[in-house]
Amino acid sequence: LGRYFKRRLVELAEKHPQVEDVRGLGLLVGMELSERRFAEILVEMSRKEGYLINRTAEKVLRFTPPLIVEKKDIDGLVEVMDKILIGIT
């Protein structure tokens, strides 16, 4: 599932210019955003939707899903993030 998760985040990055980079290995994946405020907004709004994302540095998100994560969970997170990023362009 790690490759699937990273691929979905890369697809999100290709769609939104606020995302500068996606990197990681396995399920431990990071996403760098162009501005600190984008990271803050994504963390806060995703939490309200039930997804916990860590923010490291100022504008890097760190994803650490549980080992029992399923594709539907990854898809749900990516869908929520897509909607948030559309709203903060």
Here the CATH number for the domain that contains residue 25 is 3.90.1150.10
- According to DSSP, the residues that pair with 30 across neighbouring strands are 23, 62
Please, what's the largest Cα pairwise distance for the chain? 33
Q: Residue 57: its pLDDT value, please? A: 86
Phi/psi of residue 54, nearest 5 degrees: -90, 145
Query: Which amino acid, residue 60?
Result: V
Q: pLDDT by residue (tens digit) across 52-70?
A: 999 998 999 999 999 899 9
Per the structure, the complete domain to which residue 45 belongs is given by: 2-87
Size of the chain in residues? 89
Q: pLDDT by residue (tens digit) across 3-48?
A: 999 999 999 999 999 999 999 999 999 999 999 999 999 999 999 9
The span from the CA of 55 to the CA of 36, in Å, is 10
The pTM of this model reads 0.92
- The structural domain count of the chain equals 1
**Residue 89: pLDDT over 90:** no
